[in-house]
Structure 1
Amino acid sequence: MKKKSFLLTTILIMTLSMFLAACGGGTEKEEGGAADGGDAGADKPQFISIVTGGTGGTYYPLGGAFASIISDETGIETNAETSGASAENMTTLKNGDAEIAFTQTDIASYAKDGKLMFEGNAVENVQAIGTLYPETIQIVTTAGAGITSVEDLKGKKVSIGAPGSGTAANAEQILEVHGMTLDDIEKQDLSFDESTAGIQDGTIDAAFVTAGTPTGAVEGLSATEDVVIVPIAQDKIDALIEKYPFYIQDEVPSGTYGLTDAVSTVAVSAMLAVKSDLSEDVVYDITKAIFENLDQVTHAKGKIISAEKAVKGTGIEIHPGAQKYYDEKGFK
């Protein structure tokens, strides 16, 4: 009986040892695979964050839609967060406090090159997923303000966007080609929502808003005020594009915000940037998820976003994972 009991105990111990060895071997394999650049899943994050912009802009609703798509399609829990937009977002990626960011192509270029607001503080750990849509520079005011040209902004209280946003650089460059500087206006650093609220209550006269049209904050203003979008003259547009080639000619269409005529202006492009240390497989899955589920994006800009256009004009290197997806689709 004792011999039988000893034999049974020995068998149980051997079985348990084999089980533990198998489990241990599996763990080593996963760890080794990740270290060797394999795709055993060890480098797939459980959670990622997308930094967007203010709630009154275009980044935030699009970011929310993208976060839902990524969560559903990849199994990575994804959250969209409000922020000060482009420039702040690039710094957030640099600091490792988010994985994906909305930004303007010009700001991404400044960040990688360490220019303008990034002088001495270049952002080297980012690459592009792709461009999304034109970001129209809208100089917003109301009929009662009496502002009909960029030159009329002189001496006025003008918001140039939230601190850290790319809108400030756009405002400075547009003023520059008109022979003006930020010293010629009473500069205010307000988010889009704060800007339109300030225009409505009379505490500011106008605001630069760089966002896809229609922009939610400006639409809200148009519900109670006769919105005016200040035009940029063709010769100034030409001068701006010549000096800063990342600009393109654009317009705010008639009917937008109740406008009776289209208004000439310029635009940069919105894009998605990503931390370069995310694996090729993860970024491939994210890119595929977004561009193959755009029918789930209810914002108007969803209709003009496409993978075919995404490879153009990013201003910075495309992440290998995103490039793999574009190569499969034959987009160059």
Structure 2
Amino acid sequence: MKKSLSILLIVVLALALVFTGCSQPAQQETKEEAKQEGGEQSQKSGDTLELAFATGGTSGTYYPLGGSIANVWNNNIEGVNVTIQPAGASVENINRVSSGEVDIVLAMNNIADDAFNGTGKSFSKPLKNFKAVGVVYPEVMHVITTQASGVQSIADLKGKAINPGPPGSGTYVTAMKILEAYGIGPKDYTAKPGSFSDAVAGLKDGNIDAAFAVLSFPASAVQEIATTNPVKILEMDGADFDKVKELVPFASKFNITGGEYKGQDNDATTVTLQAVMYVKEDLSDDLVYQLTKVMYENTVEIAQGHARGKQIKLENAINGVTTPIHPGAQKYYDEKGIK
């Protein structure tokens, strides 16, 4: 009996060894296949170049327009995936692209010039690690109040509650210079800085008397305010414009057409700057060439995603750009005869 049991145990052990020996190659093969598949997936992921595009607040123009431009790039440039990010706009964006934190940004041309030269209160030293691609659209300074406020001019803002824009934005920096041009200092008003959404809410509920907003024209944010609170756009014209021009050299006159905003029946003169696209200086020439070409040659498609796409004009691509242009973009402009 014991002998039979011993024989049975030997047979079981032998069979176990056989099956273990057979299973090891299969398991090893499975691991090798998984390793190879994982390697192939990594390689495929590596074939797509991921680019980060910093824009602005979700209630402004930069964010939705940037999203439309990114979609057009992704649909027309093989091997590229551009992802947009909401951001604090011009000052923050120039700092981030210069440090290499993001690849592409939108910013006002006057802010980029300040950064490159290390001038103004926003930049303690020159930033050189970024290059211009080109002008995207004109940015219009809206100094907005309501008809009910009784404010008739920028000079009347002394003693008032003002939203000068999001801190770190081109709107905020430019607003400070405009107020300075009118002799209005930080102690002469109550500052309530915030986003464009904050400005809309503040003007609608009466928590602020006026707001500064650099937006495309016509601006949906201003139209939203005007639906319940007829607005007034405060003008900068004549000698007042000359004073602003001294502090904001890139400013040019812009006519806000009467009737576009409820309450603003007459034309109003304000100032405009340029929204420009900038990139990290070490992006390849071929990549930036493609980004430039696709943006300026697919404006109809961009406009389907955001109306400001209609204002992207190749003939205006380098107007107001004073910082160095990326060689990839310059190659495209040379081909098209843009000077």
Structure 1 residue 54 corresponds to structure 2 residue 61: no
Which aligned pairs between 1:190-205 and structure 2 lie closer than 5 A? 190-205=194-209
Name the residue aligned to 1:297: 302
Farther-moved stretch of structure 1 (110-119 vs 56-65) = 110-119
Amino acid at match of 1:50: F
CA deviation profile, 1:267-297 (whole Å, cap 9, x unmatched) = 1111111111101000000001111100012
Name the residue aligned to 1:13: none
Displacement of 1:44 in angstroms is 8.2
Q: Hey, what's the Cα distance between the residues in 2 that align with 1:210 and 1:137? A: 4
Displacement of 1:300 in angstroms is 3.0
Displacement of 1:58 in angstroms is 1.2
Is residue 174–residue 248 contact of structure 2 (8 Å, CA) maintained in 1?
no
Q: Aligned to 1:168, which of 172, 180, 185?
A: 172
Q: Hey, what's the Cα distance between the residues in 2 that align with 1:63 and 1:297? A: 9
Q: Hey, what's the Cα distance between the residues in 2 that align with 1:56 and 1:163? A: 15
Q: Hey, what's the Cα distance between the residues in 1 that align with 2:101 and 2:201? A: 30
Name the residue aligned to 1:288: 293
Secondary structure at the residue paired with 1:53? coil
Q: Aligned to 1:250, which of 247, 254, 260?
A: 254
Q: How many aligned positions are there? A: 290
Name the residue aligned to 2:184: 180
Displacement of 1:52 in angstroms is 1.0
CA deviation profile, 1:98-128 (whole Å, cap 9, x unmatched) = 1111100000001111122343243221110
Is residue 86–residue 103 contact of structure 1 (8 Å, CA) maintained in 2?
yes
CA deviation profile, 1:230-271 (whole Å, cap 9, x unmatched) = 112311102222443211111211222223111111111111
Is residue 44–residue 282 contact of structure 1 (8 Å, CA) maintained in 2?
no
RMSD across aligned positions (CA): 1.6
Name the residue aligned to 2:215: 211
Q: Hey, what's the Cα distance between the residues in 2 that align with 1:44 and 1:123? A: 31
Displacement of 1:171 in angstroms is 1.1
Q: Hey, what's the Cα distance between the residues in 2 that align with 1:244 and 1:61? A: 27
Name the residue aligned to 1:264: 269
Secondary structure at the residue paired with 1:117? coil
TM-score by length of 1: 0.84
Secondary structure at the residue paired with 1:223? helix
Name the residue aligned to 1:274: 279
CA deviation profile, 1:32-73 (whole Å, cap 9, x unmatched) = xxxxxxxxxxx9861112111112211112101110011111
Structure 1 residue 310 corresponds to structure 2 residue 314: no
Name the residue aligned to 1:68: 71
Which aligned pairs between 1:101-116 and structure 2 lie closer than 5 A? 101-116=105-120
Is residue 56–residue 216 contact of structure 1 (8 Å, CA) maintained in 2?
no
Name the residue aligned to 2:149: 145
Secondary structure at the residue paired with 2:51? strand
Q: Hey, what's the Cα distance between the residues in 1 that align with 2:236 and 2:229? A: 22
Is residue 181–residue 247 contact of structure 2 (8 Å, CA) maintained in 1?
no
Q: Hey, what's the Cα distance between the residues in 2 that align with 1:271 and 1:191? A: 20
Structure 1 stretches of at least 4 aligned residues deviating more than 6 Å after TM superposition: none
Q: Aligned to 1:324, which of 311, 331, 334?
A: 331
Q: Hey, what's the Cα distance between the residues in 1 that align with 2:302 and 2:266? A: 28
Secondary structure at the residue paired with 1:256? coil
Percent identity over the alignment is 38
Q: Hey, what's the Cα distance between the residues in 2 that align with 1:44 and 1:90? A: 28
CA gap 1:99/1:166 in 2 versus in 1, 3 angstroms: same
Secondary structure at the residue paired with 2:261? helix
Q: Hey, what's the Cα distance between the residues in 1 that align with 2:75 and 2:125? A: 36
Q: Hey, what's the Cα distance between the residues in 2 that align with 1:44 and 1:178? A: 54
TM-score by length of 2: 0.82
Is residue 73–residue 289 contact of structure 1 (8 Å, CA) maintained in 2?
yes
Amino acid at match of 1:303: K
Is residue 51–residue 81 contact of structure 2 (8 Å, CA) maintained in 1?
yes
Q: Aligned to 1:82, which of 56, 81, 86?
A: 86
